[in-house]
């Protein structure tokens, strides 16, 4: 082998490994941008110019990824052509010494050359750079952004050509090529769960994040106290009658009406009433300004986050809920609303759900059905025909149920164990 052939071989080998390096750079560039997260880019990178360039590519990555694919395919074709010329001459003599047939030996040497070239590219031009990129994509993107923008400019004519062809073909087959990057609630849930699994969020934090979105999904009627469970008092009711009849297990505020229950004029705080009664005896009435307060009236069409907004704007934590006919359907407090977020951190006087054993529960019919579904880990179908467990059972039964009626639903047996007139009071739920 003379000097010219040696120089030629060295040049080809150098070119081959240069192509491997180019392919490695392109692979690293592709994954670093794809895996970069916007909030981390803004938080980690110090160069404002590079931040803007990376964010711009994240918003419109079409040309970038097209340039990467063109570059990768071009490099692979060239490397395959020259790589075989480098490797085959060294492999062929060895194969010929084993296989006498020259045609078969030539085919085998070509196959071995392809396998060697492919192995080099898989390891050094694909796996290693992608592992580097995925380990810290935002930092890698910082280093490759400017060189890659130069590559995009150089390949712009080819990008326009191939991208145009791809768009035409997609239109022929009526395929949608639009990217939908809209953030959904499920995406946020996934991030929260991932943070909990990684140990970045404690159980309580995961619970709070996981339930905060229920405020925008659940209606006010899902968390209210129904009118049947409320003590109403006429403005003329004697103070002693209020004290003797008030149920301490219900809300500590009593709605006051004039003439009829659906004409609510305000409410009294029972604690203030008792303090005043101890000091002055039966010398005042329920409309005394020292205990009587105007009440916030809200429609039953509000969602829970809208109720929170009403409480904030009006400085209240207690409201009467009216339906479209102006009739009182229930009351709700700030504690009721926050219970959907805080869960067990908000205490109640009543136990709506009592667990008997590992597979059965006694549940009040007034319990919001979404709470029951969450407890039993049943997927919510988003039905708008009912708000409580009673409503769910009546919807499934398609009639007014009676004691001892049983209904199977998603692998659970719902048995009515107590009723009050036509209202379901308690339900035994058993896992089957």
State residue 247's pLDDT score.
61
State residue 422's pLDDT score.
84
Once rounded to an integer, what is the mean pLDDT over residues 111-116?
A: 84
Q: What is the pLDDT of residues 14-28, one digit of tens each?
A: 888 899 999 999 999
State residue 388's pLDDT score.
85
State residue 310's pLDDT score.
93
pTM value is 0.52
State residue 180's pLDDT score.
60
Share of the chain above pLDDT 70, in %: 90
Q: What is the pLDDT of residues 280-315, one digit of tens each?
A: 888 899 999 899 999 999 999 999 889 999 999 998
Kindly give, in sequence order, each residue whose CB lies less than 8 Å from that of residue 326, ignoring residues fewer than 6 positions away.
262
pLDDT tier for residue 96 given thresholds of 50, 70 and 90: confident
Among 95-104, 254-263, 371-380, the range scoring the smallest mean pLDDT is 95-104
Compute the CA torsion angle 230, 236, 241, 242 (nearest 10 deg). 40
∠ Cα 334 336 337 (to 5°): 65
CB 412 within 8 A of CB 432: yes
Q: Which of 330, 340, 249 is nearest to 295 (CA)?
A: 330
Among 121-130, 184-193, 236-245, 328-337, the range scoring the smallest mean pLDDT is 184-193
Among 58-72, 187-201, 309-323, 391-405, the range scoring the smallest mean pLDDT is 187-201
Rounded CA Rg of the chain? 36
Helix (H) or strand (E) holding 417: strand 412-420
Third-level CATH fold of 353-431 = 3.30.465
Domain 219-345: CATH superfamily, name plus number: CBS-domain (3.10.580.10)
Once rounded to an integer, what is the mean pLDDT over residues 1-20?
A: 79
- Two tokens at 41? 């880019």
Once rounded to an integer, what is the mean pLDDT over residues 92-120?
A: 81
State residue 346's pLDDT score.
43
187 pLDDT higher than 50: yes
Within 24-147, strands assigned E span none
CB 57 within 8 A of CB 41: no
- Residue 400 CB coordination number (10 Å): 11
């Amino acid at each position: 082998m003379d000097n010219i052939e040696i120089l030629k071989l060295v040049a080809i080998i150098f070119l081959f490994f240069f192509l491997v390096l180019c392919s490695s750079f392109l692979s690293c560039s592709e994954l670093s941008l794809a895996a970069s997260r916007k909030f981390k880019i803004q938080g980690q990178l110090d160069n404002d110019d590079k931040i803007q360039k990376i964010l711009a590519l994240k918003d419109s990555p079409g040309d970038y990824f097209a340039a990467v694919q063109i570059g990768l395919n071009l490099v692979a074709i060239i490397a395959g052509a020259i790589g075989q010329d480098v490797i085959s001459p060294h492999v062929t003599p060895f194969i010929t010494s084993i296989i006498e047939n020259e045609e078969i030996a030539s085919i085998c040497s070509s196959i071995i050359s392809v396998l060697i070239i492919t192995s080099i590219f898989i390891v050094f031009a694909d796996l290693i750079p992608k592992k580097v990129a995925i380990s810290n994509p935002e930092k890698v993107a910082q280093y490759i952004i400017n060189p890659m923008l130069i590559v995009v400019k150089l390949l712009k004519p080819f990008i326009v050509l191939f991208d145009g062809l791809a768009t035409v073909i997609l239109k022929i087959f009526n395929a949608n090529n639009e990217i939908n990057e809209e953030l959904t609630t499920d995406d946020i849930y996934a991030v929260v769960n991932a943070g909990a699994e990684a140990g970045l969020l404690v159980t309580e934090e995961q619970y709070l994040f996981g339930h905060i979105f229920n405020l925008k999904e659940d209606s006010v009627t899902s968390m209210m106290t129904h009118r049947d469970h409320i003590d109403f008092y006429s403005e003329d009711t004697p103070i002693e009658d209020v004290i003797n009849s008030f149920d301490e297990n219900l809300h500590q505020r009593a709605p006051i009406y004039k003439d009829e229950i659906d004409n609510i004029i305000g409410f009294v705080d029972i604690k203030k009433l008792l303090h005043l009664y101890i000091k002055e005896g039966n010398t005042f009435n329920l409309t005394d300004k020292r205990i009587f307060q105007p009440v916030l009236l809200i429609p039953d069409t509000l969602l829970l986050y809208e109720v929170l907004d009403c409480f904030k704007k009006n400085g209240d934590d207690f409201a009467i809920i009216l339906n479209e006919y102006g009739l009182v359907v229930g009351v709700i407090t700030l504690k009721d609303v926050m219970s959907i977020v805080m869960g067990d951190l908000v205490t109640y006087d009543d136990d709506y759900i009592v667990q008997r054993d590992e597979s059965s529960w006694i549940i009040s019919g007034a319990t919001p059905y979404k709470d029951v579904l969450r407890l039993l880990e049943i997927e919510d179908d988003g039905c708008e025909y009912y708000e409580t467990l009673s409503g769910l059972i009546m919807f499934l039964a398609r009639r007014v149920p009676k004691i001892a009626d049983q209904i199977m639903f998603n692998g659970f047996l719902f048995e009515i164990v107590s009723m009050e007139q036509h209202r379901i009071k308690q339900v035994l739920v058993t896992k089957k």
